[in-house]
C-alpha cells in the first residue's frame, strides 16, 4: 500500500487534481481493497512494475524467453511453455466454487484450453499453491511451495516444465506479469449490499468481517483431489459423448495436435486416432483414457516431455 501510494505521488505529483485513468483502475483491484481493510500484502502486490517488466514476464510465459534489445534470454524449458499447461485468463464462471464441469463449459463457451494446471489469472491473489494431493506427487518439494508463490513458480519451472529455474530478474518479470493478471472487484459477483459492507467498513470489527466476506468470493487456494483409475466394470456407464468430444478438443488436442503440440504422440479428430484410443478404453495401459488422465506419464532420463495427470 505504502509503496503504491508513494510511487504514485512521485510520478504524478504534478497531476494531483487529475489522477490518470490507470490509477483509478488500480483502486478496483481486490488486492487494493484488501489493503484498505488492513491486510498486509505480499511484496509483488505492493509494487509498481514497469510495462517493460510486465511484457518480459508475458514473453516468458508465452514463449519461454524474453528479449532485451536484440538479445534473447536462454529458453526456460526446451519442452514446454507455461501456456502448455496453464491458461492466463479467468477459467471458472463462479470464482469461489470451481468445478471441473463448469470449467469445461466455460472453456467451450470462451474457446479456452481445458488444462491440468490452474489458470495463472489470479495466481497472485491466492495464498497457497500446490494444495491438497500435490503432496502425494511431489512430496517434500511442495512444502516450500505451498506458502510462497515464488517457490511454487520455481517448483513448476523445474518439475512441471522440466526446465531451469528462473533467474532473479526473470522472477521479478514473472511476478510483474502475474500481478497484471489480478482479480478485480468487478470480477466478483458482489451484491449491492455486500459491496456496501466492504467499502464502508470502518471499525476494526467491521473491517475484519469485510475481509472475510471479500476473501470468500474468490479462490485462496486451488484444490486438487487425485482419484484412482476407474475400475473396468464402472467404465462406459452413462458416458456423455458430447462431453468427451469437448474434453478431447479443448484439452487433449491442445498438447497432442501435430502443428504446435508438445509431444511426438500426435492426435487429431480423425477416426483412426479415436479408434486407437477407443480400442484401449477397457485396458489398464497408458493408451487407455481412464489410465492416462489419472496417472499421466513421467519424464524419463533423456526424454523429458511428459504428461501431467488431471486433478
Least gap, CB of 74 to ligand HEC (angstroms) = 13
Question: Is residue 67 within 8 Å of 74, Cβ to Cβ?
Answer: no
CB of 152 or CB of 188, closer to ligand HEC: 152
Least gap, CB of 198 to ligand HEC (angstroms) = 24
CB of 47 or CB of 148, closer to ligand HEC: 148
Site residues (vs ligand HEC, CB under 6 A): 76, 80, 82, 84-86, 115-118, 123, 126, 129-131, 134, 152-153, 156-157, 160-161, 174, 222, 224, 247, 251-252, 254-256, 262-265, 286-287, 289, 292-293, 297, 305-308, 311
CB of 141 or CB of 224, closer to ligand HEC: 224
Least gap, CB of 243 to ligand HEC (angstroms) = 11
Q: Positive or negative, the Cα torsion across 114, 116, 120, 124?
A: positive
CB of 36 or CB of 224, closer to ligand HEC: 224
Q: Rounded to an integer, what distance in angstroms lies between the CA atom of residue 56 and that of residue 166?
A: 13
Least gap, CB of 211 to ligand HEC (angstroms) = 21
Least gap, CB of 264 to ligand HEC (angstroms) = 5
Question: Is residue 250 within 8 Å of 112, Cβ to Cβ?
Answer: yes
- CA 166: distance to chain centroid? 17
Measure CA of the first residue to CA of the last residue in the chain; give whole Å: 35
Which among 291, 112, 129, 237 is positioned nearest to 102, based on CA atoms? Answer: 112
Amino acid at each position: 500500500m505504502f509503496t503504491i501510494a508513494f510511487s504514485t505521488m512521485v510520478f504524478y505529483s504534478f497531476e494531483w487534481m487529475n489522477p490518470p485513468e490507470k490509477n483509478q483502475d488500480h483502486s478496483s483491484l481486490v488486492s487494493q481493497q484488501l489493503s484498505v481493510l488492513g491486510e498486509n500484502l505480499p511484496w509483488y502486490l505492493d509494487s509498481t512494475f514497469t510495462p517493460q517488466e510486465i511484457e518480459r514476464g508475458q514473453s516468458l510465459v508465452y514463449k519461454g524467453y524474453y528479449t532485451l534489445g536484440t538479445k534473447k534470454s536462454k529458453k526456460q524449458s526446451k519442452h514446454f511453455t507455461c501456456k502448455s499447461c496453464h491458461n492466463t485468463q479467468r477459467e471458472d464462471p463462479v470464482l469461489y466454487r470451481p468445478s471441473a464441469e463448469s470449467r469445461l463449459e466455460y472453456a467451450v463457451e470462451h474457446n479456452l484450453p481445458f488444462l491440468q494446471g490452474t489458470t495463472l489469472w489470479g495466481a497472485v491473489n491466492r495464498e497457497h499453491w500446490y494444495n491438497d494431493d500435490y503432496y502425494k506427487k511431489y512430496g517434500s518439494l511442495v512444502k516450500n511451495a505451498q506458502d510462497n508463490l515464488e517457490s511454487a513458480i520455481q517448483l513448476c519451472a523445474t518439475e512441471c516444465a522440466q526446465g531451469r529455474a528462473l533467474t532473479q530478474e526473470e522472477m521479478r518479470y514473472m511476478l510483474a506479469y502475474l500481478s497484471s493478471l489480478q482479480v478485480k472487484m468487478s470480477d466478483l459477483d458482489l451484491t449491492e449490499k455486500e459491496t456496501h459492507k466492504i467499502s464502508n467498513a470502518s471499525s476494526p470489527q467491521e473491517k475484519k468481517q469485510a475481509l472475510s466476506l471479500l476473501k470468500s468470493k474468490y479462490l485462496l487456494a486451488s484444490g486438487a483431489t487425485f482419484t484412482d483409475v476407474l475400475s473396468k466394470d464402472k467404465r462406459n456407464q452413462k458416458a456423455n459423448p458430447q462431453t468427451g468430444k469437448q474434453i478431447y478438443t479443448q484439452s487433449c488436442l491442445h498438447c497432442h495436435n501435430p502443428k504446435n503440440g508438445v509431444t511426438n504422440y500426435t492426435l487429431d479428430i480423425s477416426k483412426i486416432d479415436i479408434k486407437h484410443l477407443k480400442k484401449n478404453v477397457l485396458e489398464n495401459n497408458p493408451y487407455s483414457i481412464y489410465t492416462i488422465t489419472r496417472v499421466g506419464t513421467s519424464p524419463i532420463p533423456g526424454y523429458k516431455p511428459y504428461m501431467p495427470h488431471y486433478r
